[in-house]
Amino acid sequence: MEKNRVCITVCGVDHVILSEKPAEYMQQLGAALHEQMQGLLRANGRMSVTQAAVLSALSFMDAAKEAETTAENLRSRIQDYLEDAARMKKEAELARHEAERLHRELAELKRRKPQN
């Protein structure tokens, strides 16, 4: 896949990045990083840009890890639902066969019933 050369500006510093992702997407990520870091720098005037970058990276990694955990939990729940649905389908099929058997048995009993 072809890589795009993208320039993003974070905290006044230009960074050229090669990525397979679309340039617009990478610029959005760069803007989000810039906003995150600027917020940290505004909140603490003694914080360095490097410290803000590290805290931002940790924050984004935490969010990614939480999203990964949530996704795994959802996958597990979906798998449980699929297994439940398969079990219910099998039970419904067995119940349908039993109902058909009972219907045939009833019809046979009615047929055998002596006429008055």
| Model pLDDT for residues 3-53, shown as the tens digit of each residue | 999 999 999 999 999 999 999 999 999 999 999 999 999 999 999 999 999
**For residue 46, what are the CA distances in angstroms to 41, 42, 52, 63, 96?**
8, 9, 10, 25, 73
In this predicted structure, the answer to whether residue 114 has a pLDDT above a threshold of 90 is: no
Where is 66: in which H helix or E strand?
helix 49-112
Q: Which residue has the tokens 């955990």?
A: 69
CB atoms within 10 A of CB 6: 19
**pLDDT above 90 covers what percent of the chain?**
93
pTM check: above 0.85? no
For 20, phi then psi, to 5°, come to -80, -15
Are the CB atoms for 24 and 1 separated by under 8 Å? no
In this predicted structure, the answer to whether residue 1 has a pLDDT above a threshold of 90 is: no
Where is 15: in which H helix or E strand?
strand 13-19
